[in-house]
Amino acid sequence: MKTAQCLMGDRRAIAPYEGPDHVPYPLPAPLTAAELQPFVVRGGLVTFTVKVPLHEVAGVRDGTLAPFIQNTWLAGFTMENTAYRAVGASFNDFGAYLSGEVHVQVVCLLASPFQD
């Protein structure tokens, strides 16, 4: 699979948001609760980049990818005050309908499903 290279080269899985020029590489695997919890406790905006199948992006009707990202990449943690932008793509077949993945950078506040 060919992968577009992120310009900034931040290899951290998730990081405090540092501004619009900050683009982390796509996550190699879903984040765990242990990786996410420090960002909930610390607060503030965080950023990470996920790969979203093109058919998921094309099927968005309400303007949000939140359910897909929360369930697939964030161990059920929820995103608040969320912004998205496409920063790249991966593909292995130009001929297949809606094939490939869109690399979506997410900037958000995180909330834990374990909080009271």
Identify the pLDDT of residue 96.
67
Domain count along the chain: 1
Domain span at residue 22 reads 2-111
Asked whether residue 44 is domain-assigned, the answer is yes
Asked whether residue 35 is domain-assigned, the answer is yes
Residues of the chain with pLDDT > 70: what percent? 83
DSSP for the chain reads -EEPPPSS-B--SSEE---TT--BPBPSSPPPHHHHHHHHHH-S-EEEEEEEEHHHHHT-SSS--HHHHHHHHSTT-EEEEEEEEEEEEEES-TTSTT-SEEEEEEEEEEE-TT--
Q: Which two tokens stand for residue 92?
A: 């292995």
- Please answer whether residues 94 and 74 qualify as being in contact, where contact means their C-beta atoms are separated by less than 8 angstroms: no
**CA gap 109, 19 in Å, rounded:** 14
Asked whether residue 116 is domain-assigned, the answer is no
Asked whether residue 12 is domain-assigned, the answer is yes
Q: Does residue 114 have a pLDDT over 80?
A: no
Identify the pLDDT of residue 99.
75
pTM passes above 0.85: no
- Please answer whether residues 25 and 4 qualify as being in contact, where contact means their C-beta atoms are separated by less than 8 angstroms: no
